[in-house]
Every structure is written in structure tokens, then in C-alpha cells.
């Protein structure tokens, strides 16, 4: 039975000539519905229709019909629909109202005027359901990323809605945090809720999805099974699906478990030789680092070389950003020594799009080139055009950056930060919330920087990106930085950062391309 229905729904944001949703007709029932699509395809807009944020909060033009739990979405205010549809946003930090967990979870109950005793019962029930009852009195600011997202989920569940919509809930989480949120979604789906998730990280969600809707340029496909969606071509297909398609498996595997036993044998594995690298470009000697005067990392002895990509992995909040800022020279060590080669350091912080302020995408890139190089005007123009092309931004060159989708903005910010020829390039979660095509473009830019001799350091939770580009992996955890070695070891079976290929081929290649290169045919 459909819990939410969209019937020939078309919607355009205010001031936009092109609809974000086009003639969408869908019936969504209980269980997990996965919305898959490229960045800017309309997934988030479709989610927002379910609780009426589109059109009531965002405005714009809408036609067609949408109902959620029997309520007409177009005619019912969001605050009334909130009783039936819960919403979890990508960045929980931007949606928290209160300072403590239990007050945050109770916020919606206060808004509907619930008696205090009932509120206490509901808050306890929601926290229990998500396995976070122990966090009840904690300050939200002290929680890990995964805990925060589960608190946001509890806050959405507390009104006992029939539908829960989640907008890229794992995009900012480390693998452990992401797994906990996905497990919570799976439990809710099994309990009969309609759980609608827009997500790019499909590895764990795809096998659990009741149905998948492919969203392309505002059009939504009919709901299909996960296997059918994989065969139809997912925009961010998990590695096992990609491998299955490459070697012609039918049906396609949706998880590592599906693929085990069918995985082709590999031949000619001699182990990859380490790449030749250049001189030491940056180094720490017995350094203590912290965002304030309290160290979060101590006794750090590490170095990176020219022509090398070092990947930092580790849980949220354990000091990866602090380490990157110290490498960039934005924060001096509290103790010990840091050295870096002279030359330009390029740095992409988390949420780099925040810094965009020029009238066009092209102007953003030109600004960096003018400030950081002594090139002539024509060389600067040529350099900007090359960067735009490399990141697939040529068609957006004259657009205002803040009008773009979040994935496009992220690419613009990376293009603006990495333009020119930096000697050291530092990127903090560069592929957060990006689809695979965008991720591949970013990977290509990073590899290009390395090949031109830059020392590159990337902090990421995106293990597929790490597998594609890493020369070496470091783990930042519990105040220490540990060498995990080459990706074939660091991202292999048994590691919390293992890719699906790493799990499938212990000690073997960790990318699909690496596996295919050694498949016995």
C-alpha cells in the first residue's frame, strides 16, 4: 500500500526557468526506497516534496498532485505534515536547535504541544529504538558524526511518522558512523516505516533497499528492485556491481556476500611496485598539534614527498583536519617541529564552497591564478579554461557559483583552490556528497597534481577514492598517526577502511580496475 504518492508532479524553484522535477509519478510504500542519481539531479527536491518543504518553504511553481499519508502535500503546511513525515538533513549540525540530546529529540514534541509525561516516554522510546539511550544527557556538540546523525534520526522519529526522508545521511560520516546510520535505516524499514533515502554511498544500502528510484535531470524512474536498478546502471554503483557488470555476472551481486564464491580468480599478481617519489616536501618531528592549546595529536613523526599522494583516514573528530591545517601552515605545532618546502600550498577545507564570492565560476578560478602566479593575462585565461574543462565546469563558467547544486559548488571550490601549480596540495574531504562522475574528475585532478610533482595530502572517508589514488595511507586516531601502508594493505579485508574489492580479495587489488587487470580470462 502506498504511503506517499506523487502524480505528474512538476516543480521549479523560484527564479528558475528549468524545472527541478519533471512530471514525476511515484508510489512509495513501506521499507527502504533508495533515490539514486547524480548530484543536482533532483533527489533532494523530491525528498522535500514528501514533507511539503517544497513548495511551502522554498516557494516556486508546482503542478500535479502529491500526497503523504493521505494528506495533500500542496495544500497542507509542512509543520502539519511533520506529524506524518520526518526529515533528516545532510548536516545535522545545521539542524540542531538545542544543546542537549534529550531536548533536541523533544523539540518536535514541544512544537505539537504534547504533555510532558508523554514527551518523556516518546523521547526515551526514540532513543532506545536507535540504540543511543546512553547519550540522553550528552551535549550534542560532544557527539561523534554517527551519533549526531542518529540523534537527528531520533528527533525525526519522535512524532512516530509513517515516512522518514533522509538526505545523504552518511555523506559526512566515517565508515563506522555510516554503518550505524545505515543499520538504523534498515531496522526502521523492517519495522514497516517508509524510509526514503537519497544517497551516493550505496554499498550498504543497496542490498537492503526494497526499491530503487533512479532520478535523472528531474525525471524519476518507476520504482524497481535493487537488482534491476543495478542492471539499469546506477550513477554511483558499488564496486561489486561494477565488477559484476564488467565480467558479465547475472544476476548482478549487490553485496560482497553475493559476490563471494563467484569472484573470478586472479592471476599474475606480483604485487605492485611502490612508485618513485621525490624529495621530502613536508615533515613533522615529535610534534604536538591541536586546534586550541590542548593537543589532540602528540608525538607526530611523519613526512610526505613530492610526487606522492598520502591519504588520511580515521574517525570523525580525531584530528585529521588539525593535521591538514598544520601541514598547510595555518596552525603552528604546539610542540616539536614542522618543515615544508618553499612554494605554494593549495588547501581545500571542508565545505570549501563557503568561500565562493565572485560573480561567476570563471572569476573564482581567475582570482586564484592572478593572486598566486606571475603568469600573463592570456596564460591565466588559458589556465582557467583548462581547469574548468578538467572538472567538467565549462558549461557553468558564467554562472553565479552559489546558484549551483552543492556537488557543483564543491567542484567549483576545488577548481578555484587547486588552480595553478601548487607544490603542496591539501584536500579535506574533497568528494563529500559527490556522485561517482564528479569523484572521478576530482581524482583525475589530484593524480594530475601528483604527476606534476606536487606533494598531495587528502583526508577522506571515501575509501573508493582512497583506493583509486593513494600511494600511502595514514590513520589518524586516538591522538596518534599510524602508518597503514599502501592501499592494498590499508584498504584490504579486516581493515575498517576496506573497499568491497579489498574484502573480496584479501591482500589483493582494492580497485575494480586493479582486479580486472588480473582476472583470469
Residues 6+ apart with CB under 8 A from 274: 471, 486
User: How many Cα neighbours within 13 Å face the side chain of 193?
Assistant: 25
Quote the least distance from Cβ 221 to other proteins, whole Å: 26
- Contact segment (CB under 8 A) with other proteins among 6-14, 23-31, 351-359, 447-455 equals 351-359
Using CB under 8 A, pick the residue from 176, 303, 356, 519 that binds other proteins.
356
- Contact segment (CB under 8 A) with other proteins among 4-12, 127-135, 176-184, 341-349 equals 341-349
Give the nearer residue to other proteins in terms of CB position, either 6 or 47: 47
- Residue 21-60 contact track with other proteins, rule CB under 8 A, x = bound: ------------------------------x-x--xx---
Angle between helical axes of 377-390 and 361-372 (0-180°, round to 10): 130
Say how many residues touch other proteins, by CB under 8 A. Answer: 63
Q: Taking CB under 8 A as the rule, does residue 120 contact other proteins?
A: yes
Quote the least distance from Cβ 269 to other proteins, whole Å: 41
Phi and psi of 62, rounded to 5°?
Answer: -135, 145
- Contact segment (CB under 8 A) with other proteins among 112-120, 268-276, 377-385, 390-398 equals 112-120
Separation CA 454–CA 424 (nearest Å): 5
Separation CA 90–CA 81 (nearest Å): 20
Give the nearer residue to other proteins in terms of CB position, either 239 or 368: 368
Q: Taking CB under 8 A as the rule, does residue 14 contact other proteins?
A: no
Quote the least distance from Cβ 207 to other proteins, whole Å: 29
Q: Taking CB under 8 A as the rule, does residue 375 contact other proteins?
A: no
Give the nearer residue to other proteins in terms of CB position, either 106 or 504: 106
How would you classify the pairing of strands 163-167 and 424-428? unpaired
Cα angle 406-412-413, degrees, rounded to a multiple of 5: 90
The three-state secondary structure class of 158 is coil
Q: Taking CB under 8 A as the rule, does residue 13 contact other proteins?
A: no
Give the nearer residue to other proteins in terms of CB position, either 102 or 203: 102
Q: Taking CB under 8 A as the rule, does residue 267 contact other proteins?
A: no
Strand partners, 425: 346, 456
Give the nearer residue to other proteins in terms of CB position, either 368 or 488: 368
How would you list the strands of the sheet with 480-485, edge to edge?
Answer: 345-348, 424-428, 455-459, 308-313, 472-477, 480-485
Q: Taking CB under 8 A as the rule, does residue 97 contact other proteins?
A: yes
Using CB under 8 A, pick the residue from 75, 116, 260, 262 that binds other proteins.
116
Using CB under 8 A, pick the residue from 180, 283, 368, 500 that binds other proteins.
368
- Contact segment (CB under 8 A) with other proteins among 151-159, 211-219, 242-250, 492-500 equals 151-159
Separation CA 225–CA 255 (nearest Å): 14
Could you tell me the three cell numbers for 478?
586516538
Q: Taking CB under 8 A as the rule, does residue 351 contact other proteins?
A: yes
Residues 6+ apart with CB under 8 A from 182: 170, 204, 205, 208
Q: Spell out a b/e string for 322-351, using b for 16 or more CB atoms within 10 Å of the CB, else e.
A: bbbbbbbeebebbebebebbeeebbbbbeb
Q: Are 474 and 482 in contact (CB under 8 A)?
A: yes
Of 407-436, which residues contact other proteins (CB under 8 A)?
413, 416-417
Separation CA 85–CA 239 (nearest Å): 33
Of 57-96, which residues contact other proteins (CB under 8 A)?
57, 78-80, 82-83, 86-87, 89, 91, 93-96
Give the nearer residue to other proteins in terms of CB position, either 175 or 304: 304
Separation CA 163–CA 83 (nearest Å): 10
Q: Taking CB under 8 A as the rule, does residue 106 contact other proteins?
A: yes
Give just the sign of the alpha carbon dihedral 240, 242, 246, 250.
positive
Using CB under 8 A, pick the residue from 115, 248, 261, 271 that binds other proteins.
115
Verify cis geometry, omega within 30 degrees of 0, for the bond prior to 251: yes
- Contact segment (CB under 8 A) with other proteins among 108-116, 241-249, 297-305, 493-501 equals 108-116
Q: Are 69 and 245 in contact (CB under 8 A)?
A: no
Q: Are 517 and 508 in contact (CB under 8 A)?
A: no
Q: Taking CB under 8 A as the rule, does residue 108 contact other proteins?
A: yes
Could you tell me the three cell numbers for 267?
592471476
Give the nearer residue to other proteins in terms of CB position, either 329 or 496: 329
Separation CA 428–CA 321 (nearest Å): 7
Quote the least distance from Cβ 119 to other proteins, whole Å: 5
| Residues at the interface with other proteins (CB under 8 A) | 51, 53, 56-57, 78-80, 82-83, 86-87, 89, 91, 93-100, 102-103, 106-116, 119-120, 123, 155-156, 159, 325, 328, 330, 345-352, 354-357, 367-368, 371-372, 402, 413, 416-417
Amino acid at each position: 500500500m502506498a504511503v506517499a504518492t506523487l502524480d505528474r508532479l512538476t516543480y521549479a524553484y523560484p527564479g528558475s526557468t528549468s524545472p527541478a522535477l519533471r512530471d514525476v509519478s511515484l508510489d512509495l510504500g513501506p521499507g527502504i526506497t533508495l533515490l539514486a542519481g547524480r548530484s543536482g539531479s533532483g533527489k533532494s527536491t523530491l525528498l522535500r516534496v514528501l514533507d511539503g518543504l517544497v513548495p511551502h518553504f522554498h516557494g516556486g511553481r508546482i503542478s500535479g498532485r502529491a500526497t503523504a499519508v493521505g494528506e495533500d502535500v500542496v495544500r497542507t503546511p509542512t509543520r502539519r505534515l511533520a506529524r506524518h513525515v520526518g526529515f533528516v538533513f545532510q548536516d545535522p549540525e545545521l539542524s540542531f536547535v538545542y544543546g542537549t540530546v534529550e531536548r533536541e529529540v523533544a523539540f518536535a514534541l514541544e512544537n505539537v504541544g504534547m504533555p510532558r509525561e508523554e514527551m518523556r516516554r516518546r523521547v526515551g522510546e526514540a532513543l532506545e529504538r536507535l540504540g543511543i539511550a546512553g547519550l540522553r544527557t550528552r551535549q550534542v556538540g560532544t557527539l561523534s558524526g554517527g551519533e549526531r546523525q542518529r540523534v537527528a534520526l531520533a528527533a525525526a522519529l519522535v512524532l512516530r511518522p509513517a515516512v522518514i526522508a533522509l538526505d545523504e545521511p552518511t555523506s559526512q560520516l566515517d565508515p563506522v558512523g555510516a554503518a550505524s546510520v545505515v543499520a538504523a535505516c534498515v531496522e526502521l524499514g523492517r519495522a514497516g516505516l517508509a524510509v526514503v533515502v537519497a544517497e551516493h554511498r550505496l554499498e550498504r544500502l543497496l542490498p537492503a533497499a526494497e526499491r530503487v528510484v533512479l532520478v535523472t535531470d528531474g525525471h524519476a524512474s518507476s520504482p524497481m528492485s535493487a537488482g534491476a536498478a543495478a542492471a539499469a546502471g546506477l550513477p554511483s554503483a558499488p564496486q561489486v556491481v561494477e565488477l559484476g557488470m564488467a565480467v558479465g555476472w547475472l544476476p548482478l551481486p549487490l553485496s560482497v556476500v553475493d559476490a563471494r564464491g563467484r569472484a573470478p580468480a586472479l592471476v599474475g599478481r606480483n604485487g605492485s611496485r611502490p612508485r618513485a617519489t621525490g624529495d621530502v616536501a613536508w615533515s613533522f618531528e615529535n610534534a604536538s598539534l591541536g586546534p586550541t592549546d590542548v593537543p589532540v595529536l602528540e608525538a607526530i613523526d611523519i613526512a610526505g614527498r613530492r610526487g606522492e599522494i598520502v591519504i588520511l583516514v580515521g574517525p570523525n573528530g580525531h584530528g585529521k583536519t588539525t593535521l591538514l591545517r598544520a601541514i598547510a601552515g595555518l596552525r603552528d605545532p604546539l610542540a616539536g617541529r614542522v618543515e615544508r618546502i618553499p612554494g605554494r600550498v593549495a588547501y581545500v577545507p571542508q565545505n570549501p564552497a563557503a568561500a565562493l564570492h565572485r560573480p561567476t565560476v570563471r572569476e573564482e578560478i581567475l582570482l586564484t591564478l592572478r593572486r598566486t602566479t606571475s603568469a600573463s593575462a592570456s596564460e591565466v585565461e588559458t589556465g582557467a579554461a583548462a581547469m574548468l574543462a578538467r572538472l567538467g565546469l565549462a558549461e557553468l563558467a558564467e554562472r553565479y557559483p552559489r546558484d549551483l547544486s552543492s556537488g557543483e559548488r564543491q567542484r567549483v571550490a576545488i577548481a578555484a583552490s587547486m588552480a595553478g601549480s601548487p607544490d603542496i596540495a591539501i584536500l579535506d574531504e574533497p568528494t563529500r556528497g559527490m556522485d561517482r562522475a564528479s569523484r572521478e574528475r576530482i581524482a583525475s585532478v589530484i593524480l594530475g597534481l601528483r604527476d606534476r610533482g606536487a606533494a598531495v595530502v587528502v583526508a577522506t572517508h571515501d575509501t573508493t577514492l582512497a583506493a583509486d589514488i593513494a600511494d600511502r595511507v595514514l590513520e589518524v586516531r586516538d591522538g596518534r598517526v599510524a602508518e597503514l601502508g599502501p592501499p592494498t594493505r590499508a584498504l584490504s579485508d579486516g581493515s575498517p577502511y576496506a573497499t568491497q574489492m579489498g574484502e573480496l580479495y584479501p591482500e589483493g587489488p582494492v580497485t575494480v580496475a586493479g582486479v580486472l587487470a588480473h582476472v583470469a580470462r
